[in-house]
């Protein structure tokens, strides 16, 4: 083994929220290492996938406390950054495509402004040049008429268009690390596959590291190299993506069995019977 | 014979654009029978949500007619029409007020329609979508994406509507919760008289729940086929074939392993 520094190291990451006296341990001792590869995170709703992604980018809200024995990008410790230092990492070096695109987009800003704003902060370019670049990004994510869409506000976009605008806004800065949280859930399968192809190329050709959080097991199995499975804030299984169909943990097996299939009709779907032992 | 629960005739919807009107839905017609679950699939931006919003009275049609159980729907929905139809939005933030707790979101429809026994209905509604009772006083931003969508579904079901307009109700859910919600829809369908329109990108979900499926592309309806025909790949329109092929999964460029449709065992 060569001693290269991994792109991202996460060790013993825990996140706890306190709301009105109720304590939620959203993430418990999560560890993983990411190279210039595609890592999938799957797991049930509320298992801490998004919170893990947000913690890596320093985006956990103030009432949440984050701890880790290591959190590093290219060997640089991220644990004690000030807000100002975080903002220099985010956008330029690491980016997050958030779940719920419409909520993450600014409702009173046009698509053009949302895509170009962050980018222009880091680069000296003219408005016309930025606009051209933004239109090209929209075209890359299969938006038919970028010129029209650049002028729209978020409420005028369809669900899948909002999601692609968000992806375009994050990719324009060419980050080293991209966390895509449910980034294709609002897209039709053809456009969804095109977005997967873009992410795939960025990893293969530019050496970007990708964390792909998704409920879509077919997409994860097709795109990713490795998969971690979360349950109750913990990583319960890690396997090669190609082996996902043969995963061993009972929760992962139950997940696979719960999906409806186009080939074989099923009267009712298997539901996951949760075992308290999975939490220990 | 009973009239269809929903009959859409030559529906067109257009929006104001920078260079004049942009048409989002063009000359669309279909009918959904009482008790049927009717699916709509298609391209992103093809007008699926717009069709549901036009039925719900949230956008105005620029042409055509919509009838509900034989009654022509005008520009405004009456109170009775509003409680008879409920919509679950694609984006749960659109149906949940950011400063209202789960409890308040579920109380509100009951209060508007002066329903007795709110306490019992709220407890059942939360249990039906498998929401932990401990989440009852949380705000939307304190919930995970899937928990938020389940609140939206519970809210839509709490008034026992006759018509459900479901816009991607399960795309924010993990497959285990999705299975519970899909099973729930099936139970409700067999125990209550409920007609549903279901928009989804997941052909397996649509084939699982629906009798018939409409396929949309660029504002038009390209074909309507049965779920069995969809499963067997017996589509007439090339776009439907493209969708079916894409559903088989993503194949990596120069992939070391085959893109695989997960065969659940
Ligand atoms: N800001 C917050 N305040 C309080 N609790 C929170 C907050 N954000 C998340 N949580 C809680 O933390 C847990 C993990 O949430 P998270 O959003 O990470 O789940 P997830 O795995 O992304 O789920 P989903 O698949 O539904 O998006 C949940 O129980 C959630 O209710
Ligand atoms: N309020 C609005 N103002 C302007 N244009 C709009 C508005 N709402 C929708 N549109 C446009 O109408 C078209 C159809 O949008 P719609 O939301 O119905 O698509 P969809 O089929 O639901 O797509 P998706 O699968 O991505 O959600 C899109 O081109 C969209 O930009
Ligand atoms: Mg999430
Ligand atoms: Mg839509």
Per-position DSSP letters for B10-44, written without gaps between them: EEEEEEEETTEEEEEEEEEEEEE-TT-EEEEEE-T
Q: Give the per-residue pLDDT at A87.
A: 87
Q: Are B250 and B260 in contact (CB under 8 A)?
A: no
CA distance B164 to chain A (A): 19
ipTM of the complex: 0.81
CA distance A175 to chain B (A): 21
**Ligand 2 pocket member B49 (CB < 6 A):** yes
Average pLDDT on A49-74 reads: 95
User: May I ask the CATH architecture of the domain A8-279?
Assistant: 3-Layer(aba) Sandwich (3.40)
- DSSP per position, A217-235: HHHHHHH-SEEEEEETTEE
| Interstrand relation of A64-67 and A94-97 (parallel, antiparallel or unpaired) | unpaired
Q: Give the per-residue pLDDT at B258.
A: 42
Closest atom of ligand 2 to B16 CA is 4
Sign of the dihedral through C-alpha B201, A153, A178, A173 = positive
In order of A4, A5, B97, the CA distances from A1 in angstroms are 9, 12, 53
Checking if the pLDDT of A2 tops 60, the result is no
List, in sequence order, the alpha helices (H) in chain B: 48-56, 79-84, 92-95, 102-112, 118-128, 145-157, 175-191, 203-209, 227-231, 238-246
Instruction: Give the three-state DSSP class for B215.
Output: strand
Rounded to 5 degrees, φ, ψ at A114 are -60, -40
**DSSP letter, residue A122:** H
Query: For testing the chain A interface, which of B174, B208, B258 should be mutated: the one with the most A CBs within 10 Å?
Result: B174
B179-216 confidence digits (pLDDT tens) = 878 888 888 787 778 899 999 999 999 999 999 999 99
CB nearest A158 (choices: B45, B142, B257): B45
User: What are the chain B neighbours of A50 within 8 Å (beta carbons)?
Assistant: 144-145
| Interstrand relation of A64-67 and A8-19 (parallel, antiparallel or unpaired) | antiparallel
Checking if the pLDDT of B262 tops 50, the result is no
**Ligand 2 pocket member B46 (CB < 6 A):** yes
Which residues are CB-contacts of B12 (< 8 A; sequence separation ≥ 6)? B23, B25, B26, B27, B28, B61, B62, B63, B64
Six token digits for residue A258: 């719960």
B169-185 confidence digits (pLDDT tens) = 888 778 887 887 888 88
d(CA B247, CA A186): 14
Sign of the dihedral through C-alpha A268, B31, B228, B178 = negative
Atom 5 of ligand 2: nearest residue by CA position: A156
Q: Which one, of A92, A125, A99, A272, lies nearest residue B176 by Cα? A: A272
Q: Are B24 and B47 in contact (CB under 8 A)?
A: yes
User: What are the chain A neighbours of B230 within 8 Å (beta carbons)?
Assistant: 262
Q: A49 CA to middle of ligand 3, Å?
A: 6
User: Rounded to two decimals, what is the model's pTM?
Assistant: 0.87
B52-78 confidence digits (pLDDT tens) = 999 999 999 999 999 999 999 988 898
A242-276 confidence digits (pLDDT tens) = 999 898 888 888 888 888 888 888 888 887 777 77
Average pLDDT on A168-176 reads: 89
Q: Which one, of B128, B181, B174, B149, lies nearest residue A232 by Cα? A: B174
Q: A185 CA to middle of ligand 2, Å?
A: 16
Query: For testing the chain B interface, which of A256, A260, A261 should be mutated: the one with the most B CBs within 10 Å?
Result: A260
| Interstrand relation of A64-67 and A70-73 (parallel, antiparallel or unpaired) | unpaired
Six token digits for residue B7: 């009959």
CA distance A242 to chain B (A): 7
Residue ranges with CB less than 5 Å from ion ligand 3: A 50, 99; B 145
Closest residue in B to A242 (Cα) is B257
Q: Give the per-residue pLDDT at B76.
A: 87
CB within 8 Å: A262 and B203: yes
The pairs formed by A50-53 with CB atoms below 8 angstroms and a separation of 24 or more are A50/A98, A50/A99, A50/A181, A50/A213, A50/B144, A50/B145, A51/A15, A51/A26, A51/A27, A52/A10, A52/A13, A52/A15, A52/A27, A52/A230, A53/A96, A53/A179, A53/A181, A53/A211, A53/A213
Q: Which CATH class is domain B34-46+76-246?
A: alpha beta
Q: B241 CA to middle of ligand 1, Å?
A: 38
d(CA B154, CA B180): 13
Q: Give the per-residue pLDDT at B259.
A: 42
Checking if the pLDDT of A25 tops 70, the result is yes
d(CA B150, CA B92): 9
- DSSP per position, A57-107: TT---TTEEEE-SEEEETTEE-TT--HHHHHHHBTTTEEEE-SSHHHHS-T
């Amino acid at each position: 083994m060569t001693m290269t520094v991994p792109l991202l190291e996460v060790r013993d990451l825990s996140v706890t929220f306190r709301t009105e006296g109720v304590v939620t341990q959203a993430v418990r001792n999560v560890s993983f290492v990411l190279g210039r590869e595609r890592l999938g995170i799957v797991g049930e709703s509320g298992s801490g996938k998004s919170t893990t992604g947000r913690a890596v980018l320093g985006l956990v809200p103030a009432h949440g406390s984050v701890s880790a024995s290591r959190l590093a990008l290219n060997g640089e410790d991220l644990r004690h950054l000030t807000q100002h230092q975080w903002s220099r990492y985010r956008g330029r070096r690491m980016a997050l495509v958030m779940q719920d695109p419409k909520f993450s987009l600014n409702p009173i800003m046009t698509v053009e402004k949302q895509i170009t704003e962050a980018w222009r902060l880091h680069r000296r370019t003219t408005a016309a040049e930025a606009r051209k670049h933004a239109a090209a990004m929209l075209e890359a994510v299969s938006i038919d008429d970028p010129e029209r869409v650049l002028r729209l506000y978020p409420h005028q976009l369809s669900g899948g268009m909002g999601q692609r605008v968000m992806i375009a806004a994050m990719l324009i800065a060419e980050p080293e690390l991209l966390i895509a949280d449910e980034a294709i859930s609002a897209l039709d399968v053809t456009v969804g596959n095109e977005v997967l192809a873009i992410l795939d190329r960025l990893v293969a050709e530019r050496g970007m590291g990708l964390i792909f959080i998704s409920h879509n097991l077919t997409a994860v199995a097709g795109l990713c190299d490795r998969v971690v499975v979360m349950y109750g804030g913990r990583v319960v299984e890690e396997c090669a993506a190609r082996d996902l169909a043969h995963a061993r943990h009972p929760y992962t097996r139950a997940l696979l069995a719960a999906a409806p299939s186009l080939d074989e009709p099923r009267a009712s779907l298997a539901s996951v019977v949760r075992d308290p032992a999975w939490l220990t | 014979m009973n009239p269809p629960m929903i009959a859409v005739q030559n529906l067109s919807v257009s929006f104001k654009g920078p260079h004049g009107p942009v048409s989002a839905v063009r000359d669309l017609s279909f009918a959904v029978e009482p008790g049927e679950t009717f699916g709509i699939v298609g391209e992103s931006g093809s007008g699926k949500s717009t069709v549901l919003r036009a039925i719900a009275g949230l956008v105005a049609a620029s042409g055509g007619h919509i009838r509900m159980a034989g009654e022509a729907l005008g520009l405004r929905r009456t109170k009775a029409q509003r409680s008879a139809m409920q919509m679950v939005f694609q984006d749960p933030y659109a149906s949940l007020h950011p400063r209202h707790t789960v409890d308040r979101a579920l109380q509100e429809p009951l209060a508007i329609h002066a329903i007795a026994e709110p306490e019992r209905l709220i407890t059942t509604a939360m249990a039906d979508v498998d929401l932990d009772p401990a989440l009852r006083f949380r705000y939307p931003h304190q919930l995970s994406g899937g928990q938020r969508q389940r609140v939206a579904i519970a809210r839509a079901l709490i008034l026992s509507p006759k018509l459900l307009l479901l816009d991607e109700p399960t795309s924010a859910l993990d497959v285990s919760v999705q299975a519970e919600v899909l099973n729930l829809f099936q139970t409700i369908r067999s125990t209550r008289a409920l007609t549903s329109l279901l928009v989804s990108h997941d052909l397996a979900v649509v084939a699982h729940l629906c009798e018939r499926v409409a396929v949309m592309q660029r504002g038009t309806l390209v074909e309507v086929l049965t779920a069995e025909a969809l499963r067997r790949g017996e589509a007439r329109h090339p776009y439907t074939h493209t969708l079916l092929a894409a559903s088989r999964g993503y194949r990596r460029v120069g992939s070391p392993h085959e893109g695989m449709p997960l065969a659940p065992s």
